[in-house]
């Protein structure tokens, strides 16, 4: 197995908005607002670099534990971002879709906006942008199990490929690179099935300060990784090829 120069699928855990604001003695919501610029820069940088799949973790199923005011702010902010940047996403040939979005607490206007952007960009083939919103990796796996059971498939017929076909957006390839900003080193229930063999990078920089240059630096670092997938890599010491 060889490593492609550019990761095919990059997934970002956009973390550190609250701390960005706290360092400036601002309310947490200012950090979320400042994240918009980063989101657009990263999308543009990924598209230009030739990344085929970009997934952004915007709101987890656990984020419902936050105060109502913050949750409400995030709902309106995401609406603003989705509507404002729809023409840009269309122009860049980016296909957009939303992973999760099952909780009835999500305002109907937002569900509509998500549907509108999905439809608007549905024929694009440049890059697939998956926004994980009200997403939880375990929840997706449980849903896949339910779907399998409903399908009546025989237990012996279930293998990894068959199981994965029941996950939401089953065309999604495995994640090659996960970037989690803010120095936190955990997965927080993000695309658990798809990150099984991902490479990980944990930049210290907080998401609102993360720029295209940081993203490109992550891609450079990825190029230096030796992905073995459990096998061995032939090396200069004359060890046998796998």
Contact set with ligand IPE (CB under 6 A): 13-19, 57-60, 63, 74, 182, 184, 186, 188
Residue 14 binding: pick among Mg ion, ligand IPE, none (C-beta 5-8 Å cut-off by kind): ligand IPE
Least distance (Å) from Mg ion to the CB of residue 146? 30
The catalytically annotated residue of 17, 63, 159, 176 is 63
Residue 57 in the binding site for Mg ion (CB under 5 A): no
Residue 29 binding: pick among Mg ion, ligand IPE, none (C-beta 5-8 Å cut-off by kind): none
Annotation says 5 is catalytic: no
Considering beta carbons, is residue 15 or 176 the nearer one to ligand IPE? Answer: 15
Considering beta carbons, is residue 15 or 52 the nearer one to Mg ion? Answer: 15
**Residue nearest ligand IPE (C-beta atom):** 18
Annotation says 15 is catalytic: yes
Considering beta carbons, is residue 15 or 199 the nearer one to Mg ion? Answer: 15
* DSSP secondary structure string for all residues of the chain: ----SS-SEEEEE---HHHHHHHTT--HHHHHHHHHHHHHHHHHHHHHHT-SEEEEEEEEGGGGGS-HHHHHHHHHHHHHHHHHHHHHHHHTTEEEEEEE---TTS-HHHHHHHHHHHHHTTT--SEEEEEEEEE-HHHHHHHHHHHHHHHT--GGG--HHHHHTTSSSTTPPPPSEEEEGGG----TT-STTTTTT-EEE--SS-GGG--HHHHHHHHHHHHT----TTS----TT-PPP-
Q: Which of 7, 9, 15, 43 binds Mg ion (CB under 5 A)?
A: 15
Which residues form the interface with Mg ion (CB under 5 A)? 15
**Which residues form the catalytic set?**
15, 63
């Amino acid at each position: 197995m060889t490593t492609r120069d550019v990761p095919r699928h990059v997934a970002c855990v956009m973390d550190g908005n609250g701390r960005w604001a706290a360092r400036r003695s601002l309310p947490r919501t200012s950090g979320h607002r400042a994240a918009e610029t980063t989101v657009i820069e990263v999308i543009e940088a990924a598209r230009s670099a030739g990344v085929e799949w970009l997934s952004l973790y915007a709101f987890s199923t656990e984020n419902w534990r936050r105060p109502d005011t913050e949750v409400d702010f995030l709902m309106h902010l995401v609406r603003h971002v989705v509507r404002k940047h729809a023409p840009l996403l269309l122009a860049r040939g980016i296909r957009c879709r939303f992973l999760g979005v099952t909780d009835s607490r999500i305002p109907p206007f937002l569900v509509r906006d998500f549907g509108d952007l999905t439809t608007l960009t549905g024929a694009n083939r440049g890059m697939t942008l998956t926004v994980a919103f009200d997403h939880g990796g375990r929840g997706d796996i449980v849903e896949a199990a339910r779907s399998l059971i409903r399908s009546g498939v025989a237990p012996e017929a279930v293998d990894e490929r068959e199981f994965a076909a029941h996950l939401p957006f089953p065309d999604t390839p495995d994640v090659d690179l996960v970037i989690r900003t803010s120095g936190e080193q955990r997965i927080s229930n993000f695309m658990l099935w798809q990150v099984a063999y991902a490479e990980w990078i944990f930049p210290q920089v907080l998401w609102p300060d993360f720029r295209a240059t940081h993203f490109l630096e992550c891609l450079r670092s990825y190029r230096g990784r030796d992905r073995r997938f459990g096998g061995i890599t032939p090396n200069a010491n004359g060890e046998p090829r796998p």
